[in-house]
Amino acid sequence: MDIISVSNQKGGVSKTGVSFNLGSALALKHDKKVLLIDNDPQANLSEYLKYEPDGEPTLTHLVMTVCTGRTLTPEYVKSAVRHSDTAGVDYIPADINLANSETLMQTAISRETVLRRILANVEGYDFVIIDCLPSLGTLLINALTVANMLLIPVQTQKFSLDGLQALNNLYEQIKTAINPNITMLGVLPTMVDHTSVSRNALEELNEKYSNVLFKTQISKSVEAAKSSENGTPLCMTAHKLGKEYCELAMEVLSRC
């Protein structure tokens, strides 16, 4: 089971778009069994997946259970897993209260391993993909502690490389201190267009991250917003973003 953390503390770089569309491409085009985890109190991924509160636990409840020292059973974790037919994936949704559970996490015993202890109850998936929130806080540290791969989407716009060093430092620290299994799956250029700003950002990425840069680039297009609105995975559309996400899935499979 490969666990991919999709992370960048910068907001709006397409983390959620990548989590949803990579996950659905792996499931629908390659028949992989995929679990998506919404690790963001904004719960955008849950929106993509058309999640409606249904009384069953969300990631918030699972985190609260661990942090308050109650026993987590595989059955309880299972009851937090939903399925999306459209995307072909299972998922654990988030809600706004995940922000409160992150606060509670700060004082929990072994606070870095809360997500690891939750996912220890999950089996049978080829890929678990964790959509992270835009911050370097405890929820992100938890994602990097349980993952064996880090995927960093980078928006190819001005200042896009700002903050990548900080994320890289955190990755190195976690690899040294907590999770030696984590490796860099790759840096993915997103929202690529024909402007000189985008070209310059790509050049800079090539200079500094050429060894981990994906060959696939995700273009900037309004189709991305349309897909997020109606919940259609891009790999099922004829748009060029569909082809790009199919290529990304192939590249991820070849790197795993």
Interaction partner, residue 5 (ligand ATP, Mg ion, none; CB < 5-8 Å by kind)? none
Instruction: State the nearest-atom distance from the C-beta of 73 to ligand ATP, in Å.
Output: 31
| Binds Mg ion (CB under 5 A): choice among 5, 8, 9, 44 | 44
Instruction: State the nearest-atom distance from the C-beta of 213 to ligand ATP, in Å.
Output: 17
C-alpha closest to that of 15 among 132, 93, 115: 132
The nearer residue to ligand ATP, 112 or 131, going by C-beta atoms, is 131
The nearer residue to Mg ion, 44 or 145, going by C-beta atoms, is 44
Q: Judged by CB under 5 A, does residue 5 bind Mg ion?
A: no
Q: Judged by CB under 5 A, does residue 15 bind Mg ion?
A: yes
Using CA atoms, how far apart are residues 163 and 116, in angstroms rounded to an integer? 26
| Binds ligand ATP (CB under 6 A): choice among 5, 29, 39, 40 | 40
Residues 153, 18 contacting (CB under 8 angstroms):
yes
Interaction partner, residue 6 (Mg ion, ligand ATP, none; CB < 5-8 Å by kind)? none
Q: Judged by CB under 6 A, does residue 14 bind ligand ATP?
A: yes
DSSP string, 23-74: HHHHHHHH---EEEEEE-TT-HHHHHTT----SS--HHHHHHHHHTTPPPPH
- What SS3 class is residue 3? strand
Q: Is 134 exposed, middle or buried (0-12, 13-18, 19+ CB in 10 A)?
A: middle
Instruction: State the nearest-atom distance from the C-beta of 44 to Mg ion, in Å.
Output: 5
Beta strand 82-84 with 89-92 is antiparallel
Q: Judged by CB under 6 A, does residue 190 bind ligand ATP?
A: yes
Using CA atoms, how far apart are residues 39 and 59, in angstroms rounded to an integer? 8
Using CA atoms, how far apart are residues 144 and 160, in angstroms rounded to an integer? 21
The nearer residue to Mg ion, 16 or 155, going by C-beta atoms, is 16
Q: In what order do the strands lie in the sheet with 2-6?
A: 82-84, 89-92, 34-39, 127-132, 2-6, 149-155, 183-190
Which region, judged by CB under 6 A, interacts with ligand ATP, from 82-90, 116-124, 179-187, 215-223? 215-223
Interaction partner, residue 238 (ligand ATP, Mg ion, none; CB < 5-8 Å by kind)? none
- The residue ranges that bind ligand ATP (CB under 6 A) are 11-17, 40, 42, 44, 134, 190-191, 218, 220-221, 224-225, 228
- The residue ranges that bind Mg ion (CB under 5 A) are 15-16, 44
